[in-house]
Amino acid sequence: LLAPARETAAWADRRRPFDLVLPMDERFDPVEPAERERLRERLLRYRALGATVVHLRFRHVSLAHFLEQLDAVAAEVAPHVA
């Protein structure tokens, strides 16, 4: 998708970069070490594609579980992919 866009005059003429936002096509539970690693790998692949923003999706069973997942991403995932 991006290759043809990069060849246009509009791309060359833009004055500032834009964010490439990609949705996560899978739900993860980053509290689980194996899923946390898969999430890291997926985010690195998305970054290699040029993504600057990714909408994460989690499988959670409660608000407390969701908050634990956010903490896991902040502490164990984000530092490795930022």
**Three-class SS of the chain:** CHHHHHCCHHHHHCCCCCCCEEECCCCECCCCHHHHHHHHHHHHHHHHHCCCEEECCECCCCHHHHHHHHHHHHHHHHHHHC
Question: Rounded mean pLDDT of 44-51?
Answer: 91
Q: Is the pLDDT of residue 6 over 80?
A: yes
Confidence of residue 39 (pLDDT cuts 50, 70, 90): very high
pLDDT band at 37 (very low <50, low <70, confident <90, very high): very high
**Full-model pTM:** 0.80
